[in-house]
A and B are shown apart, each in its own frame.
Chain A
Amino acid sequence: MSNTTIEVAGLRKRFGQTVALDGMTFTVNPGKVTAFVGPNGAGKSTTMRVILGLDAAEAGHALIGGRPYRSLRHPLTRVGALLDAGALQPSRTARNHLLWLAHSHGLGAGRVDEVIAEVGLAKASRRKAGGYSLGMRQRLGIAAALLGDPPVLMLDEPFNGMDPEGIVWMRGFLRALAAQGRAVLVSSHLMSELQESAGHLVVVGRGKVIADTSVADLIASASGDRVTVRTSARWDAMTTLTNAGATASATGDDTVTVSGLPAERIVAVLGQGNVPFSEVSAHQATLEEAYMNLTRDAVEYRAEPATEIVR
């Protein structure tokens, strides 16, 4: 087994009556960003804490390169983790926060200054971390995770509190880390944040994995065999296609979404019926849409009626 994997198998954990983890199972592989997504309360943070040996699972196991985290001699050189950007002593400077972490692994101030530069905090590093914005704390947390130059990175909600510029930087940074061959697990409750950077998806809800798939596959499956028809004669098109055995519904002023017929057949049917159309294209679901379909049943806290979630 490679050093560069996270293997989570059959994790179960309850907090009182609440089931937090219900057979959580997945593997994180090197060389790509794995998005760990699911609604709030789905068990993402708990899973990460179990991986780091901070919380104990009642069943199952979590291994880093085949070994439990607690058995690692110099864990920061194996796994870099950002669990909570607010986990720092406010009166300590950012640089000193990294310095004690570095000292715990026999690393020096030189390495601290390197990671500070990498996350773009060089100018602010001698300020008290308590005065940092949430976005800056996220950068500081990333710097801490990078200290030991680990092959595995695990970041819990790193986009929280970041400004748009920070989000763009973070996406690129995550891609670059993965491109160096690291396994990168990034959690989020907002799929949109990870749309462009994630190569693999682990979608969770209610403590277990709902989907473990590549981004391309997920979008394909969410798109189904639906076809979008753009036409000025909406009603004619729907009548003609329904008569040909398809299911058609109006999804816009001049669009009809069709399922049950392949695109080629639709073009033929519309041509035979002399229905004008300007475009026939395979429907492309957004990642957000696919994610929403998957997690609809797993959302823990839902407003009624179900109209929210997209921000």
Chain B
Amino acid sequence: MTAATLTPPRQGAAAGRDGFMHLLHAEWTKFRTVRGWVVAIAVAGLVTLLLGVYTGARSQEGCPGGPCHFTIPTGPGGEAVTDTYYFVHRPLAADGSITVRVTSLTEVMDTAMTPQGTAQTQPALVPWSKAGLIISAGAAQGSSYAAVVVTGSHGSRMQWNYTGDSPGLAGGASATSPRWLRLTRSGDVITGYDSADGTTWSMIDTVTLPGLPLTVQAGLFATSPGYTQQTSQQITGGSSGGAPTDATATFDRVNLEGGWPGNSWTGTPVNGGRSSISYPAAVAGGYHQAGGTFTVTGSGDIAPGVNGASSIDQTLAGMFIGLIAVIVVGALFITAEYRRGLIRVTLAASPRPGRVLAAKAIVLGAVTFAAGLIGAGGAILIGTPLLRANGSPIYPMTTLTEVRVIAGTAALVAVFAVFALGVGTILRRGAGTVAAVLTAVILPYLLTAAFPVLPTAAANWLLRVAPAAGFAIKQVIPQYPQVDGGYAPFQGYFPLAPWAGFAVTCGYAALALTLAAVLLRRRDA
């Protein structure tokens, strides 16, 4: 009873993978044949790119008489650093050691000017003020170093090359309870010790400083970071302010062993040539030697740099406009089918709903990733040099970080689109889906980062649990426990690490897609 004119059945020839490739092809054809969707995604990419370029082209740094053109010092690893302190030093031309007793560490901070204009200071507690011994490749900012220090309230520690940090004894230094510190050098290996009494010593850590020259500068130092660093000097947002502080430390019982060729100490403010940087108005850095007792006053920090520079992510502001278009298209890619009953045609042609959804997700993800790559890549690669040319200090970073920000942002855009696809499949209504996804994605970011109305604790909580957590992917400046940076989202700091935040967003997308697939299979179409 079969018809002579019918073509023979095409069974068996095409395997499952072949079928899925056909499905991908079909969904791609679906996407590209709706001009509105193609235009919206192209515009999303272009807006991101052009706003990034505009941000770079329009920026002018506010130094009197033109752009500032100051550069951020970088450490041995290429990372941005803060390297400002008062250094009392002499050369060490061979192996050797230096031992000292710290009998006090106190800090003062700037207070408001009086009406007469007289600068005043008041005592302050600065948790990460530091004073102690340092062996450094030189007095230039960003030099390789190792130090043992007494801190304001983090005990004694050994720190090296800006990011290295190991704790020693707890407690600070005072006349009644002094702290003994020792650094020994053997080639490029430096070992730090501390002691409560000068007889019982404990090793804190031993580190290798690659490329350390034969003759190094070694001696005493003091420094103290600004008092309220929650208010950052970052250009991207937040209020600038906070008071400069300085730390004054008293040292005695200085004991040198090994190859110390000179016979006198030199005092050098390490500050990159900028005068009186961040000192309270009433004081300046310096040192005073009376017999065997040294008093050293310094301000600044020797630490990884987290403030004072723009990060490249400020060129990505246009992404949020583009993201709205991407989310709308992501939702419509499925809800338009529900609206017209087209979903039945789709499922009749491909009766396996999970595969249909997978094909849609892949097509949508690939298209939006491409748009994100063009948008974020263009914004950063064109916008950042323009920012630099206009004198904005740009936080230095590795190529790998730059690739992560660009590719990660593009991937994030794609994941948000797929999230919208999943939610759209669940809700089956375009308007409701767009509202829900924008609420989950854009709103938390607006409340925490763009217009920071939420307190930092609430903002950090929200950016851990909301789908918006993925915006962490564009964070450039890392957080360090040894720097009080405030680290609020509006300053560009996210509570989760870049890939962890991205994983949270991916989790939401996966959850939405899984639920969508289950519903698509169970529900009558």
Which A residues form the contact surface with B (CB < 8 A)?
A: 2-4, 29-31, 49, 52-56, 69-70, 72-78, 81, 83-84, 86-93, 96-97, 99-101, 103-106, 144, 149, 151, 180-182
Contact = CB atoms under 8 A, between A and B. Distances in A.
B179 to A, nearest CB: 75
What 6 A-B pairs are tightest by C-beta distance, nearest first? A181-B3, A104-B26, A96-B33, A100-B29, A87-B341, A55-B524
B424 to A, nearest CB: 15
A54 B348 contact: yes
B2 A87 contact: no
Contacts of B274: none
B19 A73 contact: yes
A92 B349 CA distance: 18
A93 B22 CA distance: 20
A67 to B, nearest CB: 11
Contacts of B348: 52-54, 69, 75-76, 81, 83
A53 B3 contact: no
Contact of B34 (A77, A84, A89): A89
Given A55-B524, A90-B340, A77 B9 contact: yes
B1 A104 contact: no
A100 B344 contact: no
A72 B35 CA distance: 33
Interface string B325-348: 000000000001100111011011
Nearest to A84: B341
Interface in B23-39: 23, 25-30, 33-36
Contacts of A93: 33
Given A88-B342, A90-B340, A100-B33, A181 B22 contact: no
Nearest to A147: B349
Nearest to A82: B345
A68 to B, nearest CB: 9
A29 B352 CA distance: 27
Which size bracket describes the interface of B in this complex?
Answer: 35 or more
18 contacts: A31-B3, A54-B344, A54-B347, A73-B14, A74-B14, A75-B348, A81-B348, A83-B341, A86-B340, A87-B345, A92-B30, A100-B26, A100-B27, A104-B26, A104-B349, A106-B22, A149-B7, A151-B2
Given A2-B1, A73-B11, A83-B345, 10 more contacts: A52-B344, A54-B525, A70-B352, A75-B349, A103-B28, A104-B22, A105-B22, A151-B2, A180-B4, A181-B2
B3 A182 contact: yes
Interface in B174-197: none
Contacts of B347: 52-54
A77 B19 CA distance: 13
A136 to B, nearest CB: 16
Contact of B351 (A72, A91, A97, A151): A72
A49 B25 contact: no
A139 B328 CA distance: 32
B1 A101 contact: no
Contacts of B349: 75-76, 101, 104-105
B10 interface: yes
B340 A74 contact: no
B5 interface: yes
Contacts of A144: 345
Given A151-B2, A181-B3, A181-B5, A92 B33 contact: yes
Interface of B: 1-7, 9-12, 14, 18-19, 22-23, 25-30, 33-36, 336-337, 340-342, 344-345, 347-352, 522, 524-525
A181 B6 CA distance: 8
A118 B12 CA distance: 28
Given A2-B2, A84-B344, A149-B6, A91 B25 contact: no
B351 A75 contact: yes
Nearest to A80: B348
B350 to A, nearest CB: 6
Contacts of B345: 83, 87-88, 101, 144
B346 to A, nearest CB: 8
Contacts of B350: 75, 104
A219 to B, nearest CB: 25
B35 A91 contact: yes
B24 to A, nearest CB: 9
Given A4-B1, A105-B22, A151-B3, A96 B29 contact: yes
Contacts of B6: 149, 151, 180-182
B11 to A, nearest CB: 6
Contacts of B29: 96, 99-100, 103
Q: Which of A89, A90, A101 has the most CB of B within 10 A?
A: A89
Nearest to A52: B348
Contact of B25 (A56, A74, A78, A103): A103
A245 B10 CA distance: 65
Nearest to A104: B26
A147 to B, nearest CB: 9
A4 B2 contact: yes
B336 A89 contact: yes
Contacts of B18: 106
A121 B10 CA distance: 27
Contact of B36 (A69, A91, A100, A180): A91
Contacts of B19: 73-74
A129 to B, nearest CB: 10
Nearest to B10: A77
Nearest to B343: A87
Nearest to A107: B22
Contacts of B351: 52-53, 69-70, 72, 75
A269 B352 CA distance: 70
B10 A74 contact: yes
Contacts of B27: 100
Contact of B3 (A4, A76, A103): A4
Contacts of B2: 2-4, 30, 151, 181
Contacts of A74: 10-11, 14, 19
Contacts of A2: 1-2
B30 A87 contact: no
Nearest to B35: A91
A74 to B, nearest CB: 6
Contacts of B1: 2, 4, 29-31, 181
B340 A88 contact: yes
A145 B347 CA distance: 14
A134 to B, nearest CB: 14
Nearest to B346: A104
B211 to A, nearest CB: 60
Given A77-B9, A78-B9, A89 B340 contact: yes
